[in-house]
């Protein structure tokens, strides 16, 4: 009965196929866990039948259970304290999840930890070689590290894999401006505008081209 309850409520939102876009899906277990809680209560009641009611032992067992579960909850809440924490936890527990690897890399990139971000982008691309987002982010990290040939190679590959991805074109245009290839950069930025007229970044880059001097200091060197 309880097993049927568990799977009946779990089935509509889950399957045997992993959902790669969702590294943390605890909410899917909220209703199914009612069956587990009921089973735990029943087993606990049967296990303590021989203990006299009102005994200090019952109180101690209850206190231990409450404190243990409370501590586990606090530990999990720490994982949700910020994006880096939750994605790092997901990457450790699910090393085969490319979204978790990619997201840790992106958070490191935002922090200016370009060298550190590369290993996560590399891992994401090992898991999904055709992930345009990972190529864009790794290419961006390479550019900030002034590893221009590698950065341009990643960004050109991103454009090749998805010619209709406006961010690929705008990021490639930005990178080309940095290395002084203004003519091709303009073509890329105009292509980005064609694909996404509402994106302000390529328009801003056409008005004020990026230069190598604008690259932020390398935070981990």
Residue 195 has pLDDT above 80, yes or no: yes
Classify residue 12: in a domain, yes or no: yes
Percent residues over pLDDT 70 in the chain: 63
Classify residue 15: in a domain, yes or no: yes
Residues 6+ apart with CB under 8 A from 90: 23, 24, 97, 100, 103
Residues 186 and 203 in one domain: yes
The pLDDT-based confidence of 219 (bands split at 50, 70, 90) is very low
**Cα 198 from chain centre:** 26
Instruction: Please say which residue of 61, 81, 101 terminates a domain.
Output: 81
Residues 30 and 136 in one domain: no
Residues 143 and 210 in one domain: yes
Residue 220 has pLDDT above 50, yes or no: no
Distances 111 to 39, 108, 121, 173, 219 between C-alpha atoms, Å: 46, 5, 15, 23, 8
Is residue 144 within 8 Å of residue 217, measured between CB atoms?
no
Average per-residue pLDDT for the chain: 81
Classify residue 62: in a domain, yes or no: yes
Residues 60 and 162 in one domain: no
- What is the secondary structure of the chain as a DSSP string? -HHHHHHHHHGGG--SS--TT-S--GGGGTTTHHHHHHHHHHHHHHHTTTSPTT-HHHHHHHHHHHHHHHHHHHHHHHHTSSHHHHHHHHHHH-TT-HHHHHHHHHHHHHTT-HHHHHHHHHHHHHH-TT-HHHHHHHHHHHHHTT-HHHHHHHHHHHHHH-TT-HHHHHHHHHHHHHTT-HHHHHHHHHHHHHH-TT-HHHHHHHHS---GGGSPP-TT-
Q: Which domain holds residue 183?
A: 83-214
What pLDDT score was predicted for residue 221? 31
Classify residue 28: in a domain, yes or no: yes
Residues 5 and 72 in one domain: no
Please count the structural domains in the chain: 3
Classify residue 133: in a domain, yes or no: yes
Classify residue 4: in a domain, yes or no: yes
Q: What is the mean pLDDT of residues 92-100?
A: 86
The model's pLDDT over 27-55, given as tens digits with 9 standing for 90+, comes to 566 666 666 677 777 776 666 666 666 66
Residues 16 and 105 in one domain: no
Residues 64 and 108 in one domain: no
Classify residue 221: in a domain, yes or no: no
Residues 19 and 60 in one domain: no
Residues 117 and 68 in one domain: no
Residues 89 and 148 in one domain: yes
The enclosing domain of 92 has a CATH number of 1.25.40.10
**Closest C-alpha to 185, from 203, 155, 206:** 206
Greater model confidence, 39 or 198:
198
Residues 9 and 26 in one domain: yes
State the Cα–Cα distance between residues 209 and 185, nearest whole angstrom.
9
Residues 190 and 126 in one domain: yes
| pTM for this entry | 0.69
**Closest C-alpha to 215, from 163, 137, 152, 144:** 144
Classify residue 219: in a domain, yes or no: no
């Amino acid at each position: 009965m309880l097993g049927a309850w568990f799977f009946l409520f779990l089935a509509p939102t889950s399957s045997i196929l992993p959902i790669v876009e969702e590294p943390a899906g605890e909410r899917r277990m909220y209703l199914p866990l009612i069956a587990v809680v009921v089973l735990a209560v029943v087993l606990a009641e049967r296990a303590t039948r021989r203990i006299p009611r009102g005994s200090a032992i019952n109180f101690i067992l209850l206190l231990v259970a409450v404190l243990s579960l409370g501590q586990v909850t606090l530990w999990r809440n720490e994982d949700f304290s910020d994006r880096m924490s939750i994605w790092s936890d997901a990457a450790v527990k699910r090393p085969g999840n490319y979204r978790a690897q990619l997201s840790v890399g992106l958070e490191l990139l935002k922090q200016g930890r370009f060298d550190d971000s590369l290993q996560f982008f590399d891992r994401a691309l090992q898991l999904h070689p055709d992930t345009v987002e990972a190529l864009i982010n790794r290419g961006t990290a390479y550019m900030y590290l002034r590893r221009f040939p590698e950065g341009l190679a990643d960004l050109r590959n991103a454009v090749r894999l998805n010619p209709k991805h406006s961010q690929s074109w705008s990021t490639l245009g930005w990178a080309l401006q940095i290395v002084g290839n203004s003519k091709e950069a303009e073509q890329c930025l105009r292509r980005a505008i064609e694909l996404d007229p509402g994106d302000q970044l390529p328009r801003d880059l056409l008005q004020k081209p990026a230069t190598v001097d604008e690259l932020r200091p390398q935070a981990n060197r």
